[in-house]
Each structure stands twice: as structure tokens, then as C-alpha cells.
């Protein structure tokens, strides 16, 4: 089964994503609470997919996405964004994000996006 890294400064959001994905059969998770931690953990863990918030302290999701894609151009990253951050989504896609999920999360959208990207 695929290893998925969840990156969000809110532990509650990481837990919600983990619970949703666990119900769909995913069991291998890595977590980070900011962009800097995500870049470091990506290097250590080499997850199959990253689901990352855009707005975080220390290093935002867009900066982390660019750093991860520099080290691994094949990295599969899905960005999470709150309503009204469309310009950030455009930047994320231009920077190599595979897709984006809008908060508040829709469980079906999450599992559909993850399944599509991972080829399940």
C-alpha cells in the first residue's frame, strides 16, 4: 500500500485526512506540521504521495512544493487550500502540484483524488 505524507500545521486536519484515507484502506502515513518539516521528511521517507496545506508557518506549502519537486521532479503532491485562495492554487499547479483539495474537506473528493493520482 502507498505511503502518504500529510502536511498541515493543524493536527486536527492531519487527523481528519488520516481517518478519511484509513477508511479507504490506506494505512502507511508520515506527518509533518510545516513546510520545512515536509521537505526534511520527504527526503527521509520518500512517500508515494504528499497532501500539503498551502498556508503554514516556517515555510508555506508552495515553497515546500518547489523544494520537494527540485529534489524529486516525479514527486506527487496534492495541495490543500481554503476557499478563496484560487491564485495560490494556480501557483501550485504551475509549480508541479498534481491536484488540489478545498477545505472544508469532502471525504469522497479526497479518496477520489488520492486513488486517481496513485492509480488505484
Tens of pLDDT, residue by residue over 3-40, are 999 999 999 999 999 999 999 999 999 999 999 999 99
Give the per-residue pLDDT at 89. 84
Burial of 78 (0-12, 13-18, 19+ CB in 10 A): buried
> Do residues 91 and 63 lie in contact, with contact meaning Cβ atoms separated by under 8 Å?
no
- Domains of the chain are 3-118 (3.40.50.2300)
Residue 84, pLDDT above cutoff 70: no
Give the per-residue pLDDT at 103. 85
Q: What is the pLDDT of residues 99-115, one digit of tens each?
A: 999 888 899 999 999 99
Q: What is the pLDDT of residues 49-74, one digit of tens each?
A: 999 999 999 999 999 999 999 999 99
Between CA 95 and CA 83 the distance in angstroms is 20
**pTM of the predicted structure, to 2 decimals:** 0.94
User: CA-based Rg of the chain, rounded to a whole angstrom?
Assistant: 13
Amino acid at each position: 500500500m502507498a505511503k502518504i505524507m500529510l502536511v498541515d500545521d493543524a493536527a486536527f486536519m492531519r487527523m481528519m485526512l488520516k481517518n478519511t484515507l484509513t477508511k479507504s484502506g490506506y494505512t502507511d502515513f508520515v506527518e509533518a506540521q510545516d513546510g520545512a518539516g515536509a521537505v526534511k521528511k520527504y527526503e527521509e521517507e520518500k512517500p508515494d504521495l504528499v497532501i500539503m496545506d498551502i498556508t503554514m508557518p516556517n515555510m508555506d506549502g508552495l515553497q515546500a512544493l518547489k523544494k520537494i519537486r527540485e529534489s524529486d521532479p516525479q514527486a506527487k503532491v496534492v495541495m490543500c487550500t481554503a476557499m478563496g485562495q484560487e491564485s495560490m492554487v494556480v501557483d501550485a499547479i504551475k509549480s508541479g502540484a498534481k491536484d488540489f483539495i478545498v477545505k472544508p474537506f469532502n471525504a469522497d473528493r479526497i479518496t477520489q483524488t488520492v486513488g486517481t493520482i496513485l492509480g488505484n
